Structure 1
């Protein structure tokens, strides 16, 4: 499947091209300054963002976070915008290159998004199990979940391309235990509302939004 995709430099940044798409598609380019992701990061508040509540961000405390399933890093950007230092793990080589290019471009800017991007770091490690214990305050997991066939809205073309490239995280259940070892305080898992618990392990707490829920596994309470 990887042969169906290629990376090319464009005027707007490094782009992912899907050569076997059934219809013409624009390349997938991660640009933290454009689109809904940028708007969300710039206009979100601690009260409106369930992910901030789940991770434990407050006006006085911005935990260090490892996003161990970074993908397009849209959630990571929101957390960085709230002041968290966010380290990214992404094991798909093409997505890693897209992220590295996007971060490099964003970090050159001095606006709010640029400053948020400067709090984001793409790690060399490609799996949460490769990190030392207590490497961060919080580990965030958002593994790809199999389609249920109940989705009403068509997935946007950029996400179609991303999902086709990356596929499903078949080993998602193996992420929880190493994540609990790496996180000092908690692990937060983003799941579709009807999805089973990761690794069949019931969380200590849950926060629910319209489409998703955040399962929270607590190692210990925050000091702040």
Structure 2
């Protein structure tokens, strides 16, 4: 059994706010024995600390900053495989559900190109980080509240904030980590922490059927280039990028 992750205040000034957030996300509000991770709330929001790797920079979701922010500002349909996969085009800005939102980077990229994107994330720790990142980014990015919003954490395909007119369901299930030093070196440190926290999506194949039932136009599945088709179902088409492929299932 995975040890419970606690959400704690970095200083006494944040004690009440941390306790409320812990209750909201059903996380522990006191230190947990043998825990591998802990969330701390401080002046800069929520940060995930990997306790067995104290020298690793804590993980925060900073949408629109750093390399991902630069990429979003420079993005074009021609250069971004994900944009072509979801059907972005002249006058076409589909409504997207990112049903496995994770760190929110793909969703932010699509939103920066004009899509309305709903986010769903069922892992409580990631959901807490993601909503914290969205709230902070909304204070810096004028268009964000109109295009990018958190819809659900208890279910991938339902939630009080989820619209019924979803054109595209986007799936990026966590793929099992490959063994070997070469693979580990290729993964960025923040993704190492994320993968260790979340693990593989063992029910990934079961996501495709409800996604197809919800999407009005298509389902897009992001996969490593060597991975099998999700649920063994051949896509209608594929768009290949340098590191991944996007399997497109038309409705």
TM-score (norm 1): 0.89
Deviation of the 1:18 alpha carbon: 1.1
Q: What TM-score do you get using the length of structure 2 for normalisation?
A: 0.80
Match of 1:168 among 182, 188, 200: 200
The runs of at least 4 consecutive aligned structure 1 residues that moved more than 6 Å come to none
Deviation at 1:133, TM superposition (A): 9.9
- The equivalent of 1:30 in structure 2 is 61
Task: Report whether the alignment pairs 1:95 with 2:126.
Answer: yes
Deviation of 1:201 after TM superposition, in Å, equals 0.3
The Cα of 1:61 is off from its aligned counterpart by 1.1
Deviations 1:64-115 (A, max 9, x none): 0000000001000010001111000001111111111111111122xxx441
Equivalent residues of 1:134, 1:181 under 8 A apart: no
Q: Could you tell me how far apart the structure 2 residues matched to 1:180 and 1:78 are? A: 23
Stretches of structure 1 that go unaligned for 5 or more consecutive residues are 220-224
Distance 1:182 1:64, change over 3 A: same
Q: What is residue 76 of structure 1 aligned with on the other side?
A: 107
Distance in 2 between the 1:33 and 1:133 partners? 24
Larger radius of gyration: 2
Change (3 A) 1:80 1:108: same
Aligned residues between the structures: 215
> Partners in 2 of 1:11 and 1:45 — Cα distance?
35
Is 2:224 the counterpart of 1:196? no
Query: Residue 208 in 1 paired to residue 240 in 2?
Result: yes
Q: Is the 8 A contact 1:134 1:184 kept in 2?
A: no
Q: How does 1:1-224 map to 2 (within 5 A)?
A: 1=2, 2=5, 3-21=35-53, 23-109=54-140, 113-116=141-144, 118-130=146-158, 135-149=165-179, 151=183, 153-219=185-251
Q: CA RMSD in A?
A: 1.9
Query: Larger RCO: Structure 1 or Structure 2 (Cα < 8 Å, ≥ 6 residues apart)?
Result: 1
Alpha carbons of 1:117 and 1:51: their partners in 2 closer, same or farther (altered >3 Å)? farther
